[in-house]
Structure 1
Amino acid sequence: MTTTKTFPRTTPSALDIDARGVLAFVDALESTAGVEPHSLMLLRHGQVVAQGWWQPYAADRVHLLYSLSKSFTAAAVGIAVREGLIDLDATALSYFPELDAEITDERSRRIRVRHLLAMASGHREEALDRARAADPTNTVRGFLLTPPDEEPGSVFAYNQPCTYTLASIVRRVSGGPLVEYLRPRLLDPLGIDDLAWRRDETGAELGFSGCYAPTSAIAALGQLYLQRGVWDGERILDEDWVAAATRTQVENPGEENPDWSQGYGFQFWMARHGFRGDGAYGQFCVVLPEQDVVLAITGQSLDMQAVLDAAWQHLLPAVDRPSDTGADSALEARLASLGLPAVRGGSLQGLVDVGPLAHDDAGWRLTLDVDGGTLSVPVGEGEWLVEGPLAASGALAADGRTVLVDVRFVETPHLAHVRIDRQTGTATTVWETEPLHDGPLTLRRPAD
């Protein structure tokens, strides 16, 4: 098994991957309804064989990972297990002794760390709202006060408080924030320079979501698990941890999509091929041990199964298939020219300022009052203009009355459609995809 600290670049054909299959995968991502890619990195034997970012997304930008954050939280637990700070067979409650007297339900008292990791707390369904209702200021307490429906370990239910509690346990045993614990133990060794985490009102990292990291960090995490916990000759995760995390701990045949019903490990999904971490709207860390391949993807995709279908249809058969340098060159050129389409329509030239859209010597600028603050971004015509964590593109609608402006929050999956009535100056905003825990002013990398 190859071990690596950084990712050298090579060509698909050099590592027995047919570049035409990668091209077909890119075609599928761009043409499938419900799929919008923002980035991809494809690794084999610890080397990058293909990578690309759809402008205005870029390699040096972080991207909100949503539930792919869970796999980073689990890595922190695995490191703490290796350091003897966490026992998988200890109860969750044992790490919060101040709650011992009031957690009286026997099933709650029997939830172990390994049950939290496997989404097998015994609850039959998501318990986040119930936990927050039980205690709006202490999610762990609210969770433990929400009695499981079944014996812990016996049923699967994707359950955010499980991962929130894991993050809280890591903070409890380490004495500091999750990112602070991960920095010297995981992030620095893997060369992950930029990773930030959304915190809740108590200052605690969400754990189950809210992690912002570049695509290369997703690839590095996958490569670490592919290398069974070893990186650059240094063991970061125990091999038995990796083995347990990446095999079925609890069956989940009731899940609707085929790649979501193959079993669940420790904050990893088993799949028809290999295993993966994933997050809402198409954030993926796909690991294929048999092929020695890692695939990292970000996007704004509502049909996440379609992304995996495309990988199995096009990418997987391309592994260990003859290629040629001509196909390599065609793929490289394609990946260098990726971009999301700008807003199409008539020119804005000659228009007067209207509502929140104003023109000066620098061009058009959209300024919106939202959530008690101001959102301001330059608007490109036929292109995306980027400023900070925002990018915007605009055009005149065919009716001649409406100005169309799309705003991308380029550190996240999300896009907002702004429509301005030229006669009234009224602006309406509709999300392409609804943010799950942020608003327009907080859809960006959190401050450290």
Structure 2
Amino acid sequence: MGSTRRAFVAQIGLSSLYFGLGAGFSKDFLLKTNSSLPRSTPAAQGVDAARIINFIEAINQSKHEFHSFMLLRHGQVIAEAWWAPYAPELRHTMYSMSKSFASTAVGFAVMEGKLKVTDQVIKFFPESLPANISPELQQLTIKDLLTMSVGHEVDTSQAMRKEEDWVRAFLAFPFKYKPGTQFLYNSGATYMCSAIVQKVTGQKIVDYLKPRLFDPLQIEGMDWETCPKGINVGGWGLRVKTEDLAKFGQLFLQKGLWNGKQLVSKEWVEEATSFKIQQPAPEKPTRPNAENDWLQGYCYQFWRCRNNAYRGDGANGQYTIVMPEQDAVLVITSESPNMQGQLDLVWEHILPAFDARNSDASAITNLKSKTAGLALPLEKSEIPAPWSKRSFQLEPNEMGLKSIKLAFSKGKCTLDWQGEKENYSMSAGLGAWKFGETTFPGNALTVKPTSRASGIRLKKTAINGYWKDENTFVLVLRYIESPHHDLLTFNFTGDQLELSFKNSLTRVNANNKDVRPILKGRAGSI
């Protein structure tokens, strides 16, 4: 631990470094795995701590579910928080925040002379071309992929995911516009960037980035989903930690310079984060265009923001926001139905914090107090008197679950599931989170499930259970390396059980319906 780090710990105490520390995570373990970003205080870096407190209060009063944030000024972490059960050492699904990393892989390939952004896409895949090559496909360049100006009418990723060969499916997709002329958000375009880098380097982009980006930034344990052909999907699927995002943002704020070494060329950083194409305005805007962070221009898989900032972002609220004028970086992980609303909170509370003329050192105490106990809501209840153990035989169902046994004791519920091919065991805290891992079926944990690809099977969980009433038991099953959670509602009537599932994705994405069946069963021995 460096001198700056030791001084900060001495000044404000360990608990405020990891505000969201929950049961099951050791402080000693967190110290040993702490990464290398230096820490400071808001006051020391000329930032108003009271504004940060207001930001946290506004979050807690909003409908946004934040899992973490980290704020840097002048290269130093001045505020960080995790809402339990989320914690510093956990990775988090990045969704389209992954695109900015994919763009950086293209940047390295350009720097090494392996490709140019003006290269035609078709030259990399002669074996996958359609029989008839349209003029638009002939003209399509890597730059058009990077700027989401391919010329398609709809995002290609949904159709691609139904196929075994995604490259071939993308190249066969019809065009409506001349490439480079119309912006359309298109995750298939980012996938093609990944496929091109793999074609010219012989490595998946997660492996290609390791010695060039991840290792120098001391980012470890990352993983990235692949398509059925073993290519990183590029446009989504990356998982990294909150602090890893902060390092990535700080690298770009420093124009690619890290510990005295130019990792990414200054020219690429400026090219990748500068305005390239204007997004079309909605026909019925809900706010002035100048106040819409999705209408400030698109770059190379980065977005321009208001206030001369830029960002990478991902579905449900995964952010790396770079603010050059303030020499600051803010990163966020969350599950939110309103990403613009999250940015509104940033501009309302965080942006004015950098204008602090009088840095009040005493405010750090209030900030520590405010953040030390941050946690997502946790329901508590008593166990109804008749309950200790019960078993239920389930009717045949699509999930392949045959039976379930529930056992209640003080502070804990154990659930043992028998499946057709596999058995599953879960432990839920009653009034607390119980941490574990599961392969329980039925939740893809993603807005864009990757067809027939290497998905995330063993999932880290935090589980809490509570009695809604004497006949209704609810299990809150949080998949703590993703933004999402499940609600399992057990309704008991006599010797009958009815079990329903609800994924939190149905709250943040109206198009994502939970398709799992309602399970029915009858009490009996197993």
- Aligned-pair distance for 1:293? 0.7
Q: Match of 1:432? A: 504
- C-alpha deviations, 1:35-81, integer Å up to 9, x for none? 10001100011100001111111100100011101111111111111
Higher mean Cα deviation, 386-395 or 423-432? 423-432
Structure 1 match to 2:367: 331
Which residue pairs with 1:164 in the alignment? 191
Query: Where does residue 461 of structure 2 map in the other structure?
Result: 390
CA contact (8 A) 1:343 1:406 kept: no
Match status 1:207 vs 2:241:
no
Q: Please show how residues 86-105 of structure 1 align to structure 2 within 5 Å.
A: 86-100=115-129, 102=131, 104-105=133-134
Residues 248-257 or 117-126, more deviating: 248-257
Q: Residues 103 and 336 from structure 1, CA distance in 2 versus in 1: closer, same or farther, beyond 3 angstroms?
A: farther
CA distance in 2, matches of 1:156, 1:251: 7
Q: 2:180 matched to which residue of 1?
A: 153
Bigger shift: 44-53 or 422-431?
422-431
**Structure 2 residue 142 is the aligned partner of structure 1 residue 113:** yes
Among residues 287, 301, 305, which one is paired with 1:271 in the alignment?
305
CA shift digits 1:243-292 (9 cap, x unpaired): 12111111004256711111110101111130111111111111101001
C-alpha deviations, 1:111-149, integer Å up to 9, x for none? 10011011110113212234456xx11111111111221
- Residues in 1 aligned to 2:142 and 2:109: alpha-carbon distance in whole angstroms: 12
Q: Shift of residue 230 of structure 1? A: 1.2
> How far is the alpha carbon of 1:358 from its aligned partner?
2.4
Which structure has more RCO (C-alpha within 8 Å, separation ≥ 6)? 1
- Change in 2 beyond 3 A, CA 1:280/1:293: same
Supply the distance in 1 between the matched residues of 2:419 and 2:345 (Cα, whole angstroms): 38
User: CA 1:171/1:374 → structure 2, altered by over 3 Å: closer, same or farther?
Assistant: farther
Write the letter of the residue equivalent to 2:316: Y
Residue 53 of structure 2 aligns with which residue?
Answer: 23
Residues 1:290 and 2:325 aligned together: yes
1:228 aligns with 2:264: no
Match among 296, 300, 323 for residue 262 of structure 1: 296
Report the AA paired with residue 427 of structure 2.
P
Partner of 1:377: 426
Partner SS, residue 293 of structure 2: helix
Question: 2:93 maps to which residue?
Answer: 64
* Unpaired stretches in structure 1, ≥5 consecutive residues: 441-448
CA contact (8 A) 2:166 2:227 kept: no
CA distance in 1, matches of 2:132, 2:261: 41
The 8 Å contact of residues 19 and 327 in structure 1, kept in 2 or not, is answered as yes
Which range is displaced more, 98-107 or 115-124? 98-107
Aligned ranges 1:360-375 → 2 under 5 Å: 363-368=412-417, 373-375=422-424
- Normalization by structure 1: what TM-score? 0.91
Q: Does 1:359 align with 2:408?
A: yes
Report the Cα offset of residue 174 of structure 1: 1.0
Contact 2:381 2:430 in 1 (8 A): no
Q: CA RMSD in A?
A: 2.3
Change (3 A) 1:371 1:208: farther
Q: Distance in 2 between matches of 1:371 and 1:164?
A: 36
C-alpha distance in 2, partners of 1:369/1:214? 34
- Counterparts in 2 of 1:171 and 1:214: CA distance versus 1, 3 Å: same
Aligned length: 431
Q: 1:314/1:397 Cα in 2 relative to 1: closer, same or farther (>3 Å)?
A: same
User: Would the alpha carbon gap of residues 374 and 340 (structure 1) be closer, same or farther in structure 2, given more than 3 Å must change?
Assistant: farther
CA shift digits 1:231-250 (9 cap, x unpaired): 11111222221112111111
Secondary structure of 1:219's counterpart equals helix
Q: What amino acid maps onto 1:395 in structure 2?
A: Y
CA distance in 2, matches of 1:366, 1:307: 37
2:471 to 396, 401, 409: 401
What's the CA shift string for 1:384-438, capped at 9, x where partnerless? 111130111111113x21001110000000011110012323321111225999x
320, 338, 351: which one pairs with 1:316?
351
Residues 214-241 of structure 1: CA deviation (Å, up to 9, x unaligned): 0011111111111111111111222221
Instruction: Determine the structure 2 residue equivalent to 1:80.
Output: 109
Name the residue aligned to 1:192.
219
In the alignment, residue 323 of structure 1 is paired with which amino acid? S
What code does the residue aligned with 2:360 have? Answer: D
| Paired AA for residue 188 in structure 2 | P
Task: Please give the alpha-carbon distance, in whole angstroms, between the structure 2 residues aligned to 1:378 and 1:309.
Answer: 39
User: In structure 1, how many angstroms separate the alpha carbons of the residues matched to 2:420 and 2:58?
Assistant: 37
- The residue aligned with 2:8 is none
CA distance in 2, matches of 1:349, 1:63: 39
Q: 1:166 to 1:429 in 2, by over 3 A?
A: same
Identify the residue that residue 444 of structure 1 maps to in structure 2. Answer: none
| Cα pair distance change 1:36/1:105, threshold 3 Å | same
Q: How far apart are residue 369 of structure 1 and its match?
A: 6.3
Please report how far the alpha carbon of residue 303 of structure 1 lies from its aligned counterpart in structure 2 after TM superposition.
1.0
Corresponding residue for residue 36 of structure 1 = 65
Identity of aligned residues (%): 35
Residue in structure 1 matching 2:316, options 252, 256, 281 = 281
2:417 is the counterpart of 1:417: no
| Distance 1:106-1:377 versus aligned 2 partners, 3 A rule | same
